[in-house]
Amino acid sequence: MTEKPRTSGTGEALFGFRRIGAEEHARRVRGVFASVAPRYDLMNDLMSGGLHRLWKALMIDWLDPRAGWTVVDIAGGTGDVAHGILRRVEARVVVCDPSLEMLNVGIDRAVDSGRLSGIRFVGGRAESLPFSSAAVDACTVAFGLRNVTDRAAALAEARRVLKPGGRMLCLEFSRPAAAALRPLYDAYSYRVLPRLGAAVAGDADAYRYLADSIRTFPDQETLADEFRAAGFGAVRYRNLSAGIAALHSAWRT
């Protein structure tokens, strides 16, 4: 069953399968990412067999960023998408994330790579982005939308900061298109991921939560409808790896 947007005026949100207060949800999500930040990039590689890198490259391909653009990477964490954009064009990319631990890993990574221009790291929640209205050319979010406390507010904020004609790209885990894949996907998520999280990141519960958050996230069509409800136009999506992940594209009209 697909859930409705995370909050509905009740001040509550889903943490995995459990509905809790919105502030507690935000605090718990921050705790998850504070715990896994030092090993987050390594875990992504191990969990996906490196596929997350291909998916992010496909997102940047579809975005087709132009030189001189200002891009906000929402829940951008350690800066994967930002680095991918800057390898292609000279642009300004702001990585915005509520987790200071994730941002610190991202800053260290930028310093280590020698990429000190064109990238900026800013603390902020997706539901209240610290940017002026109609100020940016594009917004991206990769595997972050399912962790926000209020998804409807986050989509409205992304639309607010985009210039008219600006574009948003969202990459998220989704519903496998082939029914035969779903039991295998569930078994991997609930048996393998927590054990991997315990062995590599020292936190099985964090990866159990991340598996739950995938199951409660909307399917492809439902998420497309949420983009339209937030005022976006020309909403489309593409399935990746048979629907294990999906890319949604939407425009600020």
> Is 3 part of any domain?
no
User: Which of 10-24, 47-61, 124-138 has the least mean pLDDT?
Assistant: 10-24
DSSP, collapsed to helix, strand or coil, labels residue 189 as: helix
Q: Where does the pLDDT of residue 15 fall: very low under 50, low under 70, confident under 90, or very high at 90 and above?
A: confident
User: Could you tell me the residue range of the domain that residue 17 belongs to?
Assistant: 12-252
pLDDT of residue 6: 41
Amino acid at 220: Q
Residue 219 pLDDT exceeds 90? yes
pLDDT of residue 185: 76
How many structural domains compose the chain?
1
> Is 116 part of any domain?
yes
Give residue-wise pLDDT tens across range 114-140: 988 999 999 999 999 999 999 999 999
Residue 251: beta bridge partners? 167, 233
Residue 228 pLDDT exceeds 90? yes
> Is 1 part of any domain?
no
pLDDT of residue 203: 79
Q: What percent of the chain has pLDDT above 70?
A: 96
> Is 6 part of any domain?
no
Mean pLDDT over all residues of the chain? 90
Highest mean pLDDT among 1-10, 32-41, 127-136: 127-136
Write the CATH number for 134: 3.40.50.150
The Cβ-side half-sphere exposure at 239, using a 13 Å CA radius, reads: 12
> Is 24 part of any domain?
yes
Q: Where does the pLDDT of residue 214 fall: very low under 50, low under 70, confident under 90, or very high at 90 and above?
A: confident
Distance, C-alpha 1 to centroid of its chain: 21
Amino acid at 119: I
Q: How far is CA 80 from CA 23, 131, 138, 202, in A?
A: 28, 21, 16, 22
> Is 4 part of any domain?
no
Q: How far is CA 19 from CA 43, 127, 138, 204, in A?
A: 27, 18, 32, 21
pLDDT of residue 137: 98
| Count of Cβ atoms closer than 10 Å to residue 251 Cβ | 17
> Is 7 part of any domain?
no
User: Which of 36-45, 89-98, 155-164, 176-185 has the least mean pLDDT?
Assistant: 176-185
Residue 34 pLDDT exceeds 60? yes
User: Which of 55-64, 192-201, 242-251 has the least mean pLDDT?
Assistant: 192-201
Give residue-wise pLDDT tens across range 136-193: 999 999 999 999 999 999 999 999 999 999 999 999 989 888 777 788 877 877 777 7
Q: Where does the pLDDT of residue 2 fall: very low under 50, low under 70, confident under 90, or very high at 90 and above?
A: very low
Sign of the CA dihedral 160, 164, 166, 172? positive
| Count of Cβ atoms closer than 10 Å to residue 87 Cβ | 10
At 195, list the tokens.
Answer: 């054990």
At 105, list the tokens.
Answer: 């890993």
pLDDT of residue 10: 54
Secondary structure tally for the chain: helices H, strands E: 10, 9
CA nearest neighbour of 74 among 82, 66, 85, 84:
82
Residue 206 pLDDT exceeds 90? no
> Is 141 part of any domain?
yes
Q: Long-range contacts made by residues 70-73, C-beta under 8 angstroms, separation at least 24? A: 70/94, 70/135, 70/136, 70/137, 70/138, 71/136, 71/137, 71/138, 71/139, 71/140, 72/96, 72/129, 72/131, 72/136, 72/138, 72/139, 72/140, 72/158, 72/161, 73/139, 73/140, 73/141, 73/142
One-character DSSP codes across 202-241: S-HHHHHHHHHHHHTS--HHHHHHHHHHTTEEEEEEEEEG
